[in-house]
């Protein structure tokens, strides 16, 4: 019998705000992954979310939870993109879309640079347009694993 190397079921969640933290909490409760990593431009927010999740570890299966770096994309099985910005007062939806599209392009570029083979799940709004932006950006370097969620997890 050959010795097989265990590859942990790792999820990287990009965006540690309300949606990203709820996504992480749901994964923790379900116990269907081995590792959850959170990545956000606001590193203090990430640390707070990681600590909040860690405080509940007595009540759910053993899962490694930590702040991610872009290098974590390399061996992730799934990358969930919840990152995006909120609409500013007086800002049009089109302006908001342009800012969120730029954020999505930067995230996908980082994933591609790391040569990740993970499935990408886009949860940012507007999800249909941003999924298209991500797919278009990823295809420019032959990367096509994208998913458009059809309902909310929580």
Of 77 and 128, the one with more pLDDT = 77
Stated pTM of the model: 0.86
Specify the CATH superfamily of domain 10-147.
NAD(P)-binding Rossmann-like Domain (3.40.50.720)
Strand-pair category, 146-147 with 10-14: unpaired
pLDDT tens for each residue of 119-153: 888 888 888 889 889 988 887 544 444 555 544 44
Q: Please give the Cα distance from 130 to 44 (Å, whole number).
A: 26
Q: How far apart are CA 96 and CA 107, in angstroms?
A: 17
Distance CA 131, CA 147 (A): 8
Distance, CA of 10 to CA of 118 (rounded, Å)? 9
Cβ neighbours of residue 65 closer than 8 Å, sequence gap 6 or more:
24, 28, 35, 36, 37, 38, 50, 53, 54, 57
- Of 114, 100, 112, the closest CA to residue 137 belongs to 112
pLDDT at 149: 53
């Amino acid at each position: 019998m050959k010795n097989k190397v265990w590859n942990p079921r790792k999820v990287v969640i990009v965006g540690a705000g309300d949606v990203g933290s709820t996504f992480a909490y749901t994964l923790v409760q379900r116990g269907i992954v081995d590792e959850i990593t959170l990545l956000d431009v606001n590193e203090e927010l990430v640390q707070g979310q990681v600590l909040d999740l860690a405080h509940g570890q007595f009540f759910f299966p053993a899962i490694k939870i930590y702040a991610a770096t872009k290098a974590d994309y390399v061996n992730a099985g799934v990358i969930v993109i919840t990152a995006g910005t909120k609409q500013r007062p007086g800002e049009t939806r089109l302006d908001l879309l342009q800012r969120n599209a730029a954020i999505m392009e930067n995230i996908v570029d980082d994933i591609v640079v790391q040569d990740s083979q993970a499935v990408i799940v886009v949860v940012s709004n507007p999800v249909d347009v941003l999924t298209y932006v991500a797919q278009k950006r990823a295809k420019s370097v032959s990367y096509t694993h994208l998913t458009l969620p059809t309902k909310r997890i929580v």
